[in-house]
A and B are shown apart, each in its own frame.
Chain A
C-alpha cells in the first residue's frame, strides 16, 4: 500500500462548479502538507502549503488538513477552464528530513 493515496481521476466538472480533491495517508509523522498543480508538459508548481491540522484559504483555493483522520482536501471554487490540470498532494515530516512524498495526482478537466 502506498504511503499517500490519491484518486487518479479524471474528474470532469462544468465551469463554475466546485472542484473537490483529496488524499489519504498512512504516516502519522507527516506534518507539512502541500498541493501542487501540474499542467501538461510542465513541472509541478506549489499551490497551497499548510502546517499541521486546519484550514487555509487563498483566493478560490481552500486546503484542509485533518490529521486525526489522515485526510487532506483541496477545494477550488468557481472553477475555470484554466484550472484544468493534474493536482498532486504532497507531505513531509521533519523526522524524514522534510523530503516530500507525493500522491499519484488527480487529473481535473473543467469544461466551458
Chain B
C-alpha cells in the first residue's frame, strides 16, 4: 500500500455541490497538509495540521474546510464547489523538519 493514499483519484462535480477529498497515511507522522496545484502557480497550501487537535489555515483556505479524524486521516471539503476550484489536490505528511511524503493527487473538475 502507498504511504499516503488519496481518494478519489479523479472527480467531476457540479457548481454548488459539496465534495470531500480524503487522505490517509501509514507513515505514523503527526503533520498533514493539503495543497492545490495549478499550472504556473505551483503548490499552494490550503490547510495544515500538526496533530489531531491542531488545524491551521494556509495561504488559500477560503472556500475550503478540513477535518482531522485521526492521526492517519485528514479530509478536505469544498462546501459549495465553484469552477475556479478546478485543480490537482495533494495531501502530504511530514515529521518535524523532514521532507514531505505526498499522495498521488486528486484531479478535481468543477463544471
- Rounded to whole Å, the gap between the CB of A97 and the closest CB of chain B is 7
Interface size class of A (residues with CB under 8 A): 20 to 34
Q: CB within 8 A of A99: which of B40, B45, B90, B103? A: B45
Inter-chain contacts of A103 with B (CB < 8 A): 42
A to B contact number (C-beta, < 8 Å) = 48
Q: CB within 8 A of B104: which of A42, A90, A94? A: A42
Question: In the bound complex, how far is the Cα of B99 from the Cα of A78, in angstroms?
Answer: 26
* Contact (Cβ within 8 A) A46 B40: no
* Contact (Cβ within 8 A) B40 A104: yes
Question: In the bound complex, how far is the Cα of B99 from the Cα of A45, in angstroms?
Answer: 9
Inter-chain contacts of B50 with A (CB < 8 A): 97
A100 at interface by CB-CB < 8 Å: yes
* Contact (Cβ within 8 A) B97 A32: yes
A88 at interface by CB-CB < 8 Å: yes
Instruction: Give the nearest-CB partner of A98 in chain B.
Output: B97
Inter-chain contacts of A98 with B (CB < 8 A): 94, 96-97
